[in-house]
Every structure is written in C-alpha cells, then in structure tokens.
Amino acid sequence: MHSFMPNDNTVLPFTQVVKPLFDINFWKYVEITVKQMMQIEENGHQMGFLRKLMMENAGAVTAKFLVEKYADLQVKKIVVFAGLGNNGGDAFVVTRHLAGYGCKPTVVLLGNPDKIKTEEAISNWKVLEKMDSINILVTSDPSHLNLDADIIVDGILGTGISGKIREPYSTAIDMINKSQAFKLAVDVPSGLDPDSGTVTDKCVKADVTITYHKMKIGMPKRIDMCGKVLVEKIGIPPEAEVGVL
C-alpha cells in the first residue's frame, strides 16, 4: 500500500459539501413584511440583543452614511425631524452621533416629550436634553419654523402608518417635501406603507432611505418615494430569523 502526500499543486477529490445553517446570499436578498420584522426584533430581544441596542446601531449606521457622503458635513445645516415613536428614537440616536462627528444638528421633536412612546426612545431623548452640542426644538406646530437646511433627516413615522396623517406630522411632511435639502429617511419614508408601497395620504419624498436588517417588501415598488434604498445590518443575530423566514 502506497502512502499519498499531496504537494502544493495537488487537487484533492471533492467528497462532500457541508451546507451552512444560513445561506449568506439567500438571507441577503430576502424581502420581509413589517410583521416579520417585528417578530425578528422580538426574537433578538429575547436572545439578549435588546431593542435599545438595535436602535443604537440603526442610528449610528445612518449617521455614518452622511459622514461618508459629505466631506464637509460639519458645515452643513442638518435638521432632524423626529416623531414620538421608535422612528423618532432612531432619529435621536442619529442626532447624537452627528454631534459626535463635529456637526451641530437641530432636532425637531414633533410633540410633547412626555408623550414619547417607548423606553428606548425616552432614554435617547433624555441624553439629547443634556447635550449643548445640538439644537433642540419642541413643537406641535412646525409651520412657523424657518426650515433652512442642507440636509433633512426624516424620523417622523415608522412602519406602523395607516390612514390619514395627523398634525403636526402632516405639516412637517409638507415642509420637508417643499425643501431643496437632501432628504434621508430613517427606515421608511414617513407616510409610506412598507408592506404594500401605498401612500394613503402623503409621504416624504426621500433621496435616500436607509432601512434596517432586511428590505421591506413594498419599498422596491416605490423608488419615487424612497429614492435609493440601502439595507443596513444592525446586529440582529441570524438565529432571530429562525421560524420567521
């Protein structure tokens, strides 16, 4: 019996393919519904990857996009519109990170801070209240604002939109759409149903939308509203998708 010692040029016979638990290419291009995303987030939260970490990563990657897009970002006039839900919470994180990069952003909270809906968003708002490096405007009537901006971040409404848009969100969306600023939507343009792609009332017309974890099924249909859609990972473990996708 002869022993066989392969040299560097030897091609060994292919014997077995070990299939990984997660097909990288498959998971990269899957489109999901809002309900599926909510379940994935819940699964991740139960695993110990808490929602506040998802919010932190979402806001950080969104701010990083602007840093990489604009070499002179520090001199740009940046206005961040924030609602009272988790979309607003993401926007709070964006604001904080932009300040960390040397910008002087203005965050416009559309409503009473006491009405902010989630623990994660409240926590991030309280941090902003302690920061002198940003401008804070709290209003229930944005119509009086002088919207002088080079960049607008839309963090007003998230994935749970339905029916006619209430004030002060409706006026804010009109103001954003009339502006000549570059418009960046957080997760989904405010007013767009990310499942169907429909706009029941009105919607922010974004230049770029950064959505998180996976593409939402209705968004590719509405590039006219979403602009360029970028899908960014926010650290949710792939195991959180098991049983959902």
- Tens of pLDDT along 99-137? 999 999 999 999 999 999 999 999 999 999 999 999 999
Residue-wise pLDDT for 20-74, tens only, equals 444 444 445 689 999 999 999 999 999 999 999 999 999 999 999 999 999 999 9
Instruction: Give me the pLDDT at residue 25, please.
Output: 47
159 has pLDDT over 80:
yes
The stretch 192-202 carries a mean pLDDT of: 94
- Residues of the chain above pLDDT 70, percent: 88
**Cα–chain center distance at 100:** 18
Q: Which residue has the tokens 């709070």?
A: 92
The stretch 172-193 carries a mean pLDDT of: 97
* Confidence label for 161 from pLDDT (cuts 50, 70 and 90): confident
Instruction: Give me the pLDDT at residue 1, please.
Output: 44
d(CA 10, CA 92): 57
d(CA 146, CA 133): 20
| Out of 3-12, 75-84, 131-140, 173-182, least confident range | 3-12
Average pLDDT, the chain: 90
Which domains occur in the chain, in start order? Answer: 55-237 (3.40.50.10260)
Adjacency order of strands within the sheet including 151-155: 135-139, 106-110, 78-82, 151-155, 182-186, 208-212, 228-232
The stretch 71-84 carries a mean pLDDT of: 98
Q: How many residues does the chain have?
A: 245
Query: 3-class SS at 170?
Result: helix
Q: Enter the pTM of the model.
A: 0.88
